[in-house]
Structure formats: structure tokens, C-alpha cells
Structure 1
Amino acid sequence: MIAQLIRTNRFNLRLRLLLILLASFLVLLVVATFAILAEHHRQTHKASEQGS
């Protein structure tokens, strides 16, 4: 019974760590996407102002 609890706790810990890493990756992906889109918008706006 104790061995099963230890295995379950390890599994839960691994699962929690995996979920935390996955959530962190998704947050970084969203932030990077936002930054890229904002920069693209800025460059497009700057180019359109220079063309006028």
C-alpha cells in the first residue's frame, strides 16, 4: 500500500511538472506571437506612412 502511494505521488508530481511546463510553454508562445504580430503591425504602419 505504501509503495503504491509512493508511485502515485511520483506520478502526480510528474504530471504536475508536465502540466506546469506545458502551461509555461503556451504562455510563452502567446507572448511571442503577440510580440511578433505587434512588430509586424508597427512595420506595416511605418511602411505605409513612408509611402504616402
Structure 2
Amino acid sequence: MEEHYVPVPEQGGGKLIPESTGRLGHVYVAVQSHSGMIGIYKLENEVVSGT
């Protein structure tokens, strides 16, 4: 039950989920598996033109 943050150049800040209002299209999800392991997922959505 500890938070470990690994910084990468693509993502700024010091937390997994930023406290401020995020960008449009970014969704954060926290889930717990059957074994009790917790995972954090960041989904990035984008609208593109096309047919």
C-alpha cells in the first residue's frame, strides 16, 4: 500500500494523478485485482477526423 513514482520525460509533476484539472481526454482509473494488487491506469483519448 505504498505509492512509488518513477518520473519519465513525457510526464511532469511528482504524483501519479495530478491534483489540478487535467487535460481534456485524460481519464485516470485505480483498480484492485483479486490478489489485492492496486493498479493505476491513464487513458488518453483523442478525436481525429476521418471516414
Q: Indicate whether the TM-score tops 0.5.
A: no
Higher strand share: 2
* TM-score interval, normalised by the smaller of the two chains: under 0.3
Q: Larger relative contact order (C-alpha < 8 A, sep ≥ 6)? A: 2
Higher helix share: 1
TM-score normalised per structure 1: 0.19
